[in-house]
Structure 1
Amino acid sequence: MTAGGPKVSVVVPAYNAAGTIQTLVDSLLRQSMPAAEFEVVFIDDGSTDDTGALLDKLAAAHPHIQVLHTENAGWPSRPRNLGIARARGEYVQFVDDDDWLADEALERLHAYAVRHDADIAIGRMVGHGRTVPRELFRVDRPDATLHDAPLIDSMTCHKMFRRAFLLEHDLRFPEDRRRLEDHHLVTRAYLLARRVSVLSGYTCYHHAKRTDGGNLTASRLDPAEYFDSLRAVLDIVDAHVPPGPQRDRLHRRWLRNEMLARLRGKRLRDAPRDWADQVVDEVGRTIRERFAPGVAAALPALQRTVTALAAEGRVEDLHRLAEWEAGVRGVVRLTGYELTGSTLVVTLTGQLRTGDGPITFTHVDGRDLLVVPVEEIPTDLLDCTEELRHGRLDVLARSARDGTESFLPVSFEVKRVTVPAGGLRVVYRGTATVDVDTLDGGPDPGDWALKARVSSFGWTKDAKVPLALSVGADGPVVVDKRPSPTPPPPPEKVGLWRRVQRTFGRRPGATGPGAVGAT
Structure 2
Amino acid sequence: MTVTEPDVTVVVGAYEAMPYLVECLRSVEAQTLDPARIEVIAVDDGSTDGTGEHLEEFAARAATHVTVLHQANSGGPSSPRNVGLGKASGRYVFFLDADDRLAPEALERMVAMADRNGTDVVLGKVEGINRVPPKAAWVQTLERTDVFHSNIKFTLSAQKLFRRALLERHSMRFDESLFTGEDALFTMEAYLRADGVSVIADHTCYYLVGRDDGKHVTKSGSYTLRFDSARALMNLIAEMVPPGVERDKLMVRPFLVTLLPQFGPKYVGDSERVRRHKFELAKPLMDAHWTPEVAVRLKVDERLRLQLVAEERPELLLEVAEFVKSKKRPDAVVEKRGRRVYLAYPHFRTGEAGLPDSIYLAEPREAREVEGYREGAASVFLRRVTRKARRVLRAA
User: RCO higher in 1 or 2 (8 Å CA, sep ≥ 6)?
Assistant: 2
User: 2:227, 2:258 within 8 Å by CA — same for their partners in 1?
Assistant: no
Match of 2:392 in 1: none
SS in 2 for 1:95: strand
What CA distance in whole angstroms lies between the structure 2 residues aligned with 1:130 and 1:31? 23
What CA distance in whole angstroms lies between the structure 2 residues aligned with 1:8 and 1:69? 22
Indicate the structure (1 or 2) with the bigger Cα radius of gyration.
Answer: 1
The alpha carbon displacement at 1:54 in A equals 1.1
Change (3 A) 1:131 1:270: farther
Matches within 5 A, 1:128-139: 128-139=129-140
- Larger deviation, residues 197-206 vs 373-382: 373-382
2:31 pairs with 1:76: no
Matches within 5 A, 1:40-79: 40-64=40-64, 65-79=66-80
User: 1:143, 1:197 within 8 Å by CA — same for their partners in 2?
Assistant: yes
What CA distance in whole angstroms lies between the structure 2 residues aligned with 1:157 and 1:291? 26
- Larger deviation, residues 64-73 vs 275-284: 275-284
Change (3 A) 1:39 1:385: closer
Matches within 5 A, 1:15-26: 15-26=15-26
The alpha carbon displacement at 1:212 in A equals 2.1
What CA distance in whole angstroms lies between the structure 1 residues aligned with 2:7 and 2:178? 31
Match of 1:175 in 2: 176
User: 1:12, 1:42 within 8 Å by CA — same for their partners in 2?
Assistant: yes
Matches within 5 A, 1:89-488: 89-223=90-224, 225-264=225-264, 266-271=265-270, 274-328=273-327, 354=328, 358-365=329-336, 366-374=339-347, 375=350, 376=353, 377-384=355-362, 386-389=364-367, 391=368, 416=371
What CA distance in whole angstroms lies between the structure 1 residues aligned with 2:26 and 2:38? 15
- Of Structure 1 and Structure 2, which has the larger fraction of its residues in strand? 1
Q: Which runs of 5+ in 2 are unaligned?
A: 374-396
SS in 2 for 1:253: helix
User: 1:285, 1:311 within 8 Å by CA — same for their partners in 2?
Assistant: no
AA aligned opposite 2:344: V
SS in 1 for 2:159: coil
Structure 1 length as normaliser, TM-score? 0.66
User: 1:281, 1:313 within 8 Å by CA — same for their partners in 2?
Assistant: no
- Of Structure 1 and Structure 2, which has the larger fraction of its residues in helix? 2
Q: Which runs of 5+ in 1 are unaligned?
A: 329-353, 392-413, 418-423, 425-519
AA aligned opposite 2:340: R
SS in 2 for 1:204: strand
What CA distance in whole angstroms lies between the structure 2 residues aligned with 1:31 and 1:8? 12
Match of 2:391 in 1: none
What CA distance in whole angstroms lies between the structure 1 residues aligned with 2:216 and 2:332? 42
The alpha carbon displacement at 1:359 in A equals 4.2
AA aligned opposite 1:306: R
Change (3 A) 1:388 1:234: closer
- The number of aligned residues is 365
User: 1:123, 1:198 within 8 Å by CA — same for their partners in 2?
Assistant: yes
What CA distance in whole angstroms lies between the structure 2 residues aligned with 1:82 and 1:169? 17
What CA distance in whole angstroms lies between the structure 2 residues aligned with 1:312 and 1:38? 53
Identity of aligned residues (%): 32
User: 1:369, 1:382 within 8 Å by CA — same for their partners in 2?
Assistant: yes
The alpha carbon displacement at 1:272 in A equals 5.2
User: 2:24, 2:100 within 8 Å by CA — same for their partners in 1?
Assistant: yes
Change (3 A) 1:131 1:281: farther
SS in 1 for 2:230: helix
Match of 2:381 in 1: none
